[in-house]
C-alpha cells in the first residue's frame, strides 16, 4: 500500500447508470480498459466535519473551492492495519487529493488531537493545518460501497470506477466496524466515475452518448447528509421540503 500514489490531480465526472447500461458499457470497454489490480473491493470511509456540518453544507452550495477530510480503508480493518488519511479539494472542477498511509490507531489518535503523526511529511502538515483551521472536527458519517475499478490500456490518466451498494450511517463511525447502513442508490443503480487528467477520449464520449448515459452532480457525503436531515425531520415531526 505504501507504493500507491499520495497525490492526485484530475477531473472526476459522475454518472448514474442502470444495470443494463453498466453491462453494455463493460462490453464496449473491454477492448480498451482492464480491471484494476485491486479489481473488486469494498471501500469504507469515515468523513470528518464540524459539529454544525460546516464542510458539507458549504460543499453543497457548489462554491468554486471546497474541501473534505476522510479516513479510508479497503474493507473493515484493525488498529494496526494501514488506512489512508485523505484531504480532498476541488477547485474550478479539478479534484486535488492528498493522502498519507498510516495505521488506523495512529490516524484516529492524530485526528482526535491525542498524538502527532508517526512520520512527519508535507502532506501531514497540510492535514494538521486543516484540523487546526476547522477545529473541532469529529467523525460525522460512515460511507461504504462495493467498487469495481478499471484502467485504460491507452491512457495512463484514465480510470473508471463503478460503485454499488452505497450505504451511509451516522453510528458505528469506525473503519473497524462492518460496512452497511442506509442505501443511497435505487435498486439496480451504480455510480460511475470517470477520472481523467484532461479531456475525455472521443471513443468514450461517443459511447456514453450512444447509451444515453448522462452526467450528474452527485456527492456521496452530500447525499448522506441530506438523507440524515430528512430522517431527523421525520423523527422530530417536521415536514421535509426538497
Domain residue limits, the chain: 7-235
Q: Is the pLDDT of residue 144 over 60?
A: yes
Domain over 7-235 is classified CATH 3.20.100.30: yes
pLDDT digits (tens, 9 = 90+) for 83-138: 999 999 999 889 999 999 999 999 999 999 999 999 999 999 999 999 999 999 99
CA distance from start to end of the chain: 42
pLDDT category, 234, cuts 50, 70, 90? low
Provide mean pLDDT across the span 13-17: 97
Q: Is the pLDDT of residue 163 over 50?
A: yes
Report the run of H or E that residue 88 belongs to, with start and end: strand 82-91
pLDDT category, 236, cuts 50, 70, 90? low
Cβ contact 54:138 at 8 Å: no
Q: Which of 71, 73, 104 is nearest to 86 (CA)?
A: 71
pLDDT digits (tens, 9 = 90+) for 20-50: 999 999 999 999 999 987 779 999 999 999 9
Cβ contact 142:177 at 8 Å: yes
**Pick the residue with more confidence: 7 or 200?**
200
HSE, CB side, 13 Å, CA atoms: give it for residue 59. Answer: 23
Cβ contact 104:79 at 8 Å: yes
Tell me the whole-structure pTM to 2 decimals.
Answer: 0.91
Annotate 101-145 with DSSP letters as a single string. Answer: EEEHHHHHHHHTTSS--SS--HHHHHHHHHHHHH-S-EEEEEEEE
Cβ contact 87:107 at 8 Å: no
Q: How many CB atoms lie within 10 A of CB 95?
A: 14
pLDDT category, 241, cuts 50, 70, 90? very low
Q: What pLDDT is attached to residue 201?
A: 94
The alpha carbons of the chain give a radius of gyration, in whole angstroms, of 18
Amino acid at each position: 500500500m505504501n507504493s500507491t500514489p499520495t497525490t492526485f490531480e484530475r477531473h472526476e465526472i459522475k454518472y448514474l447508470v442502470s444495470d443494463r447500461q453498466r453491462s453494455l458499457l463493460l462490453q464496449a470497454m473491454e477492448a480498451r480498459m482492464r480491471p484494476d489490480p485491486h479489481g473488486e473491493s469494498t471501500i469504507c470511509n469515515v468523513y470528518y466535519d464540524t459539529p454544525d456540518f460546516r464542510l458539507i453544507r458549504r460543499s453543497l452550495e457548489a462554491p468554486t473551492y471546497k474541501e473534505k477530510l476522510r479516513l479510508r480503508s479497503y474493507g473493515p480493518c484493525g488498529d494496526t492495519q494501514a488506512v489512508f488519511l485523505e484531504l480532498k479539494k476541488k477547485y474550478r472542477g479539478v479534484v486535488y487529493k492528498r493522502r498519507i498511509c498510516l495505521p488506523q490507531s495512529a490516524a484516529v489518535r492524530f485526528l482526535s488531537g491525542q498524538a502527532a503523526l508517526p512520520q512527519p511529511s508535507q502532506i501531514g502538515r497540510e492535514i494538521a493545518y486543516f484540523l487546526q483551521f476547522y477545529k473541532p472536527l469529529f467523525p460525522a458519517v460512515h460511507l461504504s460501497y462495493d467498487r469495481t475499478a478499471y484502467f485504460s490500456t491507452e491512457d495512463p490518466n484514465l480510470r473508471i470506477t463503478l460503485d454499488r451498494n452505497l450505504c451511509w450511517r451516522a453510528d458505528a463511525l469506525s473503519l473497524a466496524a462492518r460496512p452497511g447502513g442506509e442505501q443511497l442508490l435505487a435498486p439496480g443503480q451504480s455510480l460511475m466515475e470517470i477520472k481523467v487528467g484532461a479531456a475525455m477520449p472521443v471513443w468514450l464520449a461517443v459511447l456514453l452518448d450512444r447509451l444515453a448515459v448522462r452526467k450528474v452532480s452527485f456527492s456521496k457525503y452530500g447525499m448522506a447528509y441530506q438523507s440524515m436531515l430528512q430522517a431527523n425531520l421525520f423523527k422530530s415531526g417536521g415536514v421535509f421540503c426538497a
